Amino acid sequence: MLSKTTYVNVGRSGTFNPSANHRYDTKPEDVDAIIELLRTNNQRELGLYFHGGLVKDTAGIQSAKIMNSKITESGLHPISFVWETGIFDVLREKLDKIGRKTLFKIIQRIIVRRLGDRIPLSKNREAIKEITYSEIEFELSKKTPFKNYVINDNYRVLEDNNFQTEDEMVITLEEDIKKDVLENPILIEGLDIGEVDDIIYDNKYTLEKSMSRDAPFLGGFFWSIAKIVYNIILRFKRDNDHGFYATMIEEIFRRYYVAKIGASIWQEMKDKAKEMWKSNTGRSGNNLYAGTYLLTKLNELGTIENPIIINLIGHSAGSIAICYLIKEVQENYPHIKVNNLVFLAPACRSELFDEYVVQKTERFNEIRIFTMSDEYERKDTLIDGFSIVYPHSLLYFISGILEDAGKNPDAHILGLERHVNWQKYMKHSHLKNINTYLNDTQKNRLVLSVSKTNEVGLSSNAIDHGDFDDNPNTLTSIVHILKNGLN
């Protein structure tokens, strides 16, 4: 059992109010007990840990147990923030069901067929003219579909006058899709009216357009698939795709199925990461903001001459909470000093990191980020053993589907190597700033797993997004950092 003096459970809207279905809770008096323990033990330096925000409270507590033991091993008092949302469990269940639906498979087949006619594809580095239905069936039967298919890079530099307008291309695509379905009995038989009606949320055209007298509902469906195909092609033209198969799945999900609900839950989690630090003026009891209450009490315990020192560790979405935390400490808590930051596969937006960390280095001492190289990020299937639903990592999923209410197809995420290291992204000033900052050869601020060294403090061999908070090499590195610092 985790001692209540070593964690803070953040409830609804960042307060002490318990979340629905909670198993753990924290009250203001529990934080008071933590402060009294620190006072009694004359403990002046702490390690604060923020787990990923996509898990249930039970998973958060388990993660806290592991990290708390390592913080204790380093000689610091641990406090883990448990701030569950459970979004990943919701998405995992929903995606698993979607992947087994006949309609999902039919949509894939239609889109791949239309893409094969309009973008220059290569398979195993050899150009191909088109993808047949038999080839599509063969690829979709694989564990990792279309793994060897890539877009010819020459397509990315097409002049605008060689590219149809959206209206022109969508109209053409819609007619081609109708023809595909009419000529393929397997496709038309798999189109269940109820399923189609459920997924078309852009139903402006559902009743206005029709394919035939026998199937009037399909007009809107074909139009919406044509829009998906157009958006995929546009992403390849703009060079913000995530690979052939992943981009297709992202655009299907961004129009149908999970984008709206997933993006909404993801935004709620991000809001909680910010809300827990809001002012407690005029509030009392469980309505107090949990993070702010802890900082206030720590500030009262410290002094200008003898401040409370905090080291911050954030896994995945935990990095978002830390960005807001260090801003609050600098502006409102003079008796607290932030020492070192450790980010593990950070899911925060790069724009946030640039504004709150890179441009404000006076807020902390130093930082080290552990995350996967792009090679492993692409191999890390969102749902283990089920890459047909989505072939890349959770960070790719967030970037391609969940950010900006599902409207941003390639949101810049700090933990994705592509966004902080790839030259094509350096046209964005915030990414160029981050690249320069993290790749300072004197500081070793960025460690890409699997790391090429076993040097203590610089080693990680995590190859799954969820591995970083229990990977032995990474944990050993964290203990070393907490004991010896980053300077």
Read off the pLDDT of each residue in 432-442 and give the average, rounded to a whole number: 96
Residue 86 has pLDDT above 90, yes or no: no
SS3 413: strand
SS3 49: strand
- Listed in sequence order, the residues at least 6 apart from 126 whose beta carbon sits closer than 8 Å to its beta carbon are none
Residue 457 has pLDDT above 90, yes or no: yes
Q: What pLDDT is recorded for position 210?
A: 37
This prediction has a pTM of 0.92
Q: What pLDDT is recorded for position 204?
A: 37
DSSP string covering 332-396: H-TTEEEEEEEEES--SBHHHHHHHTGGGGGGSSEEEEEEE-HHHHHHS-SSTT-TTT--S-HHH
pLDDT tens for 176-200 read 888 888 887 777 766 665 566 555 5
How many percent of the chain have pLDDT more than 90? 55
Q: What pLDDT is recorded for position 237?
A: 85
Q: Residue 22's pLDDT band (boundaries 50, 70, 90)?
A: low
d(CA 173, CA 169) in angstroms, rounded, equals: 6
Read off the pLDDT of each residue in 221-233 and give the average, rounded to a whole number: 89
User: Pick the residue with more confidence: 40 or 151?
Assistant: 40
Question: What is the separation of C-alpha 343 from the centre of its chain, rounded to a whole number of angstroms?
Answer: 14
Q: Residue 290's pLDDT band (boundaries 50, 70, 90)?
A: very high
Least confidently predicted of 169-173, 332-336, 349-353, 437-441 = 169-173
Q: Residue 162's pLDDT band (boundaries 50, 70, 90)?
A: low
How many percent of the chain have pLDDT more than 70? 86
User: Pick the residue with more confidence: 217 or 475?
Assistant: 475
Read off the pLDDT of each residue in 391-409 and give the average, rounded to a whole number: 91
- Listed in sequence order, the residues at least 6 apart from 437 whose beta carbon sits closer than 8 Å to its beta carbon are 358, 445
Q: What pLDDT is recorded for position 286?
A: 96
Q: Residue 212's pLDDT band (boundaries 50, 70, 90)?
A: very low
User: Pick the residue with more confidence: 2 or 417?
Assistant: 417
pLDDT tens for 401-435 read 999 887 889 999 999 999 999 999 999 999 999 99
CB of 478 within 8 A of CB of 70? yes
The residue ranges of every structural domain in the chain are 97-262
